[in-house]
Copies of this chain bind each other. A is one copy, B any other.
């Protein structure tokens, strides 16, 4: 995970990784008590079979660019997310990324929040590492 400690300005489109990296890229844009804002870049990665995110903090996530399928454990079908789509994911609501577009970058803006304190470093990170 990269981070930009202390940065107060930037661009979501700066220093993007190339398409087809083996793992997703996570960059922290802001970290405050109970709040982390992160850019996540995918290109074809998905959660490993059987893996579910089960996060102690809630996550408001915006798909900035690209396309993805996100599945909640309590729903039968994955949701297709396109540019501009956002979701509020409650803490401990189990979910996984079924698919991201393999031929282009999918950029997420994730806002992790909650009353249990900030997540430990890497908690919002990829299961693929």
Contacts and interface: CB of A to CB of B under 8 A. Distances in A.
Interface of A: 7-14, 29-30, 32-35, 37, 58, 60, 62, 64, 79, 83-88, 90, 109, 111, 113, 115
Given A10-B86, A32-B113, A37-B111, 12 more contacts: A8-B88, A8-B90, A11-B84, A12-B86, A14-B84, A29-B60, A29-B86, A30-B60, A35-B35, A62-B109, A64-B64, A109-B109
B84 A13 contact: yes
Given A32-B113, A111-B111, A113-B32, A85 B37 contact: no
Contacts of A60: 29-30, 37
Complex copy number for this chain: 2
A29 B58 CA distance: 14
B87 A9 contact: yes
Nearest to A109: B62
A64 B62 CA distance: 11
B62 A12 contact: yes
B88 A9 contact: yes
A40 B66 CA distance: 22
Contact of A11 (B9, B85, B115): B85
A79 B9 CA distance: 10
B34 A86 contact: no
